[in-house]
Amino acid sequence: MDTDERLKVLCFEHHTQMRPAQILLQAGEKSEQVPGYVCEEPGCVVRYSSSRGYVAIAADGSQLAEELTPKVTCPGDNRPMYLAEVRPEQSNYRLWRCPECDRGLTNQELSQASKA
Ligand SMILES: [Zn+2]
Ligand SMILES: [Zn+2]
């Protein structure tokens, strides 16, 4: 069972909707194909999978530096959240959503939580 295909996942770089696709993830020595999302902007290396969250993968399949990708996890179940909504008129606004429980979290809530 895989409900991933119905999510509206945005690229955190381009804020465009990502396309469902099989993505290749490097896990130590091995690499595995998992269902995920790819950005359709030319040259964009951003990928998302509900198990690993956002990753940036170079053309040769290697994973780029982890610190380049946002790591927002669901406060309820610790799943990597995806970027679901941005607002052009509010450049700081981000709505993150959990692929598991569908919980939403805005940037504002996020910065309050990290201050507490
Ligand atoms: Zn992109
Ligand atoms: Zn959740």
Task: Tell the residue number behind the tokens 């692929």, with chain if given.
Answer: 99
Q: What is the CA radius of gyration of the chain?
A: 14
Return the ∠ at Cα 71 (arms to 116 and 37), rounded to 5°.
145
**Could you tell me the distance, in angstroms and rounded to a whole number, from the CA of residue 10 to the centre of ligand 2?**
18
Residue 73 lies in a domain: no
The contacts of residue 114 (CB under 8 Å, 6+ apart) are none
Going from the Cα of 28 to the center of ligand 2, the distance in angstroms, rounded, reads: 27
63 shares its domain with 87: no
The stretch 18-27 carries a mean pLDDT of 87
What is the DSSP-derived secondary structure letter of residue 36?
E
Query: Same structural domain for residues 44 and 98?
Result: no
What pLDDT score does 115 carry?
67
Q: pLDDT per residue over 65-103, tens digit each?
A: 777 788 999 999 999 999 999 999 998 999 999 999 999
Q: How far is the CA of 4 from the centre of ligand 2 (A)?
A: 14
For residue 21, the enclosing domain spans 4-68
Structure tokens at 20: 């469902």
